[in-house]
Amino acid sequence: MSLFSKFEMLANRRKALDETGAQPFNVVVERMISATEAIVDGRQMILAGTNNYLGLTFHPECVEAARDAVKAEGTGTTGSRMANGTFASHIALERDIADFFGRRGAIVFSTGYLANLGILSALTDRDDVIVIDGDCHASIYDGCQMSGAEVIRFRHNDADDLAKRLRRLGERAANALIVTEGIYSMLGDRAPMAEIAAAKREYGGYLLVDEAHSLGVLGERGLVEVTDEHDSVDFITGTFSKSLGATGGFCVSDLPELELVRVSSRPYVFTASMCPSVIASTRVALAVLQRSPELRDQLWNNANRLYDSLSELGLSLGPEPSPVIAAMLSDVDEALALWSGLLARGVYVNLVFPPATPNGSYLLRCSVSAAHTTEQIDQIGAAFADAQKDYATSSAA
């Protein structure tokens, strides 16, 4: 077999997609205009698939902080945290994040993906067991694989199934690592935190919650905050690339052993550290988040408005309103046609294919921002309606 034989099926799928004329995975943003607009393929586009929940990527204070940091400290650290890559600003950001979550310690990683990879692979090994929600993010699955631990999946958002699997572990449950997410990235649904925490308290183990898509969205700090389950959660991971408009990731915990993870996590030890400009803008964004609850109010107003608009069109959506709003489709041709129709009408959303999606569906995934105006939200809804009509007409012909 050729080294590349494994790609044959993927190549065939890519060829079939190219023949449709749609290029959902080759969209090039030629120029950013604002947090919600860009030039794509020579045309002005409303961006409705960026995860820029609070719209802080163009916040003047964040931009100024990043610019000043570049002038003062250069464009990059050129080293890992364990070598020359720990600047005073890294320590300050870790202190900010720990204080923000009210936790004893924090570790900052270069990306959110690396945060999950680094924490899971350092906390567990082949003698351990990790119990994860079946719909967890790829970074969690990859962290589990890197660890070598036994992985047990429980049905998505099913705390009873989690309890059953912990019960079957017997004494091993006391040292099991349970992993769930605050808001799930594909359908925007949230974990049943109280029920999951109750199962953890009954059977033991440690609980890690990934708040990547819920930080700054559910309260200030995510699902753990709004459900008041602080004492039940041992580790919180997340990213700076959503609500905080930058890149990077983190883990916070009250457990003193977190510092041992720092020196044993390969994705931390062997990765170049965050750039000074990114650290600077992230610290400012964190401060803006805390003093600007009106951003979260606007975000949820926009999310509810678009969710209601798409529901009225008869589209199958996630189970509850959220800044992540995904239309679920069973037919690939319809998904491609609607995505292309939206793009033609000046609206960019994410088109997500299986196996990255729940239940093998095709998703037109929108992510709403506080920076979207009411008019833009209505334009997105109208573009969906028009694209839907066009597809119905062409299908009937």
Phi and psi at residue 292, to the nearest 5°? -130, 65
Q: Contact, 109 vs 273, CB < 8 A?
A: no
Q: What is the DSSP letter of 131?
A: E
Give the Cα separation of 345 and 368 in Å (integer).
Answer: 18
Selection from 5, 291, 264, 237 nearest residue 111 by Cα: 237
Q: How many CB atoms lie within 10 A of CB 346?
A: 15
Give the Cα separation of 151 and 129 in Å (integer).
Answer: 6
Q: Contact, 192 vs 157, CB < 8 A?
A: yes
Give the Cα separation of 380 and 221 in Å (integer).
Answer: 28
Q: Would you please indicate which residues are annotated as catalytic (active-site) residues?
A: 185, 213, 242
Residue whose entry in the numeric block shows the structure tokens 């902080």: 65
Give the Cα separation of 219 and 224 in Å (integer).
Answer: 9
